[in-house]
Structure 1
Amino acid sequence: MTFPENNSPANEFGTDLEIVERTEPADGVVALCLRHPDGGPLPPWSPGAHIDLVLDEDLVRQYSLCGDPADTGTWRIAVLREADGRGGSQYVHDKLAVGDRVRVHGPRNNFDLAPAPRYLFLAGGIGITPIVPMIAAAEAAGADWSLVYGGRRRASMAFADDLVTRYPGRVTLVPQDERGPLDLPSLLGDPRPGTLVYCCGPAGLLDAVTTACADRPAGSLRIERFAAKEQSAPVRSDGFEVELALSGTTVTVAPDESVLDAVAAAGVQVLSSCREGTCGTCETTVLAGTVDHRDSLLTPEEQAAHDTMLICVSRAACPRLVLEL
């Protein structure tokens, strides 16, 4: 069983795309279809990928692609209005209209769909967006799969009716006002061999699913966070050195400074976007040293390898790191 891969380098594509369609698939959710102004093809992507929308000079947000990877002419995203957010979703809802152009970078995939004989997809609210193309890929590959999709109210659950209609018998909707919260002990208590669990949604759901899957084999749970998880104090309270192997430069990172900022101050530019350890744009290869991983993206196995880090938030757990920069 194989899935198409996105082999294009991260951030290779960056241009203005035109909004050609705007719909409201659920209460508080706006879906946008984007295309190249000249109608040309867009870069390939695979299920789980996201793009960066440059909404303003200091307002860059990541949104999952939720359309069809086979459609090379348009990209689709869906955005939930977050009343207590940082302004990105409100900008999309209030200022973007059909005919507008928006700067886009990507696609990038940190939540790729690995081949497996069976899948359990768990989605909470707008976390359904990366799951939609995953389901289509699993179905096309002949895998055994099921989706359990929770939300506050049925009317707030984007794409719910379409999913139920398209995949009868495989989709379970759990509106909280009708059926209560997801019954995770029942869903995850008796795992079937060879099952991968993919989960996306609010932090509370992701934390609960992570706890429920703690005894499963490594790599059998894949999650994606839209917001950074809470962090404890750094391993080191003092500064540390970072050697930039390709540049021949060594910088000192102060206790109140990020590696990303220290590297930039030394004249080495690294692409970055979220600055909170969720998007993966600034992921950098570690050649030597031990990392204090403070991101919300890498898996526990990836963090334990200490061969890569997100330099916008992660720090050194030793006096000196060597990075491939």
Structure 2
Amino acid sequence: MPGNGSAAVEMDVKVVGKEQVADGVVRLVLRRSCGEGFPAWEPGAHVDLVLDEDLVRQYSLCGDPGRSDVLEVAVLREPAGRGGSAFVHDKVEVGDRLRIRGPRNNFPLVEADEYLFVAGGIGITPILPMVRAAAAAGARWRLVYGGRTRRSMAFLEELADYGERVRIRSQDETGLLDLAGELAGAGESAAVYCCGPEGLLRAIEDECRGRRPGCLHVERFSPKARDTTVPDGPFEVELAVSGRTLEVPPGKSIVGVLEEAGVDVPVSCLEGTCGTCETAVLEGEPDHRDSILTDEERARNDTMFLCVSRSLTPRLRIDR
């Protein structure tokens, strides 16, 4: 299961720091309003920022998991985005109070003797704590970090402390990342972690097809493209907790049907990238349409994300 079970945890926080860490990127430092520490989290985790009643966005934690007093996120301004990054950049100020959900981890760092980290742009945010963890564990590791320009790339000063283990490759200086060359220098047992724009993720998925299964771990900020030529058919969802059975018609999500029936389901992204609506599958075969599960996790058919996924069998029985 990719989630860590803390999706429903909500906390009031205060913004105690806001600084620009690169062109178009600001870092927020958050502290709990009640004065208590945050729940433990591990590299790869993210939180939902509840910015407004209908404005909830997910951001990777980029601070130190060893500190329970604060959480840190870095937010890239997205001119063509849906409003979350603009809200953070233009309206959130030090002293403001927000709500967060999580932490939740769909991108955990597995144990390995060797790591190759690949980050593109704001994709450095979940990778940064992983680099710290790998260095602290004494593992073999390298990071290649690409961006449009050096001025647009966050955390370069901190990464400079790691010397030659980190390769900074700005597109205006060296062009696109040489993924084939970087992978050629990684051992067959290496765990490969990548986060960044969709073009980078597709490219590294292609390059890793000949490597051992399960070596590649990616996190997406937007939904993965899927085949839309197969029509959606109706199916039934049986709710194990209440015993109710509901029909999900074509064109409507499981989440939508459950909400209309008065069944509360925590949601956030509504596009299969954040993991908030993860639910255990007890019977039936889901039609996985998320951008989170690996092929191995999909084959187990023991969990699904209700905001986008459907069913390949006439009925699903889920833990709701």
**2:257 aligns to what?**
262
Q: Which amino acid aligns with 1:256?
A: G
Tell me by how many angstroms 1:321 deviates: 1.2
**Which deviations, in whole Å up to 9, do the C-alpha atoms of 1:127-173 show, x marking residues without a partner?**
00001110111111110000000000000000012201x21110000
**1:217 aligns to what?**
212
Does structure 1 conserve the Cα–Cα contact (< 8 Å) formed by 2:18 and 2:94? yes
**Which deviations, in whole Å up to 9, do the C-alpha atoms of 1:269-302 show, x marking residues without a partner?**
1211111000011011111111111101111111
In 2, Cα distance between equivalents of 1:59 and 1:259: 21
Q: Which amino acid aligns with 2:315?
A: R
State the secondary structure of the residue aligned to 2:271: coil
Q: List alignment gaps of at least 5 residues for structure 2.
A: none
Tell me by how many angstroms 1:13 deviates: 2.9
* Runs of 4 or more consecutive aligned structure 1 residues displaced over 4 Å after TM superposition: none
- Could you tell me the TM-score, scaled by structure 2's length? 0.96
Correspondence list, 1:16-165, <5 A:
16-164=12-160
In 2, Cα distance between equivalents of 1:286 and 1:11: 17
State the secondary structure of the residue aligned to 1:297: coil
**2:289 aligns to what?**
294
State the secondary structure of the residue aligned to 2:201: helix
**2:312 aligns to what?**
317
Does structure 1 conserve the Cα–Cα contact (< 8 Å) formed by 2:146 and 2:177? yes
Does structure 1 conserve the Cα–Cα contact (< 8 Å) formed by 2:15 and 2:96? yes
In 1, Cα distance between equivalents of 2:190 and 2:200: 19
Does structure 2 conserve the Cα–Cα contact (< 8 Å) formed by 1:235 and 1:317? no
State the secondary structure of the residue aligned to 1:136: helix
**Which deviations, in whole Å up to 9, do the C-alpha atoms of 1:5-56 show, x marking residues without a partner?**
xx97413531221111111110000000000124321111110000000011
**Which deviations, in whole Å up to 9, do the C-alpha atoms of 1:64-103 show, x marking residues without a partner?**
0000011111100000000000110000000001001111
State the secondary structure of the residue aligned to 1:168: helix
| RMSD of aligned alpha carbons | 1.6
- Could you tell me the TM-score, scaled by structure 1's length? 0.95
**2:300 aligns to what?**
305
Q: Which amino acid aligns with 1:89?
A: S
In 2, Cα distance between equivalents of 1:247 and 1:210: 41
2:217 is the counterpart of 1:230: no
Tell me by how many angstroms 1:215 deviates: 2.0
Q: Which amino acid aligns with 1:157?
A: M
In 2, Cα distance between equivalents of 1:162 and 1:213: 29
State the secondary structure of the residue aligned to 1:322: strand
Tell me by how many angstroms 1:247 deviates: 1.3
**Which deviations, in whole Å up to 9, do the C-alpha atoms of 1:213-261 show, x marking residues without a partner?**
1122221100000111122227553211111122101110010100111
Number of residue-to-residue matches in the alignment:
319
In 1, Cα distance between equivalents of 2:231 and 2:281: 18
In 2, Cα distance between equivalents of 1:125 and 1:102: 26
Q: List alignment gaps of at least 5 residues for structure 1.
A: 1-6
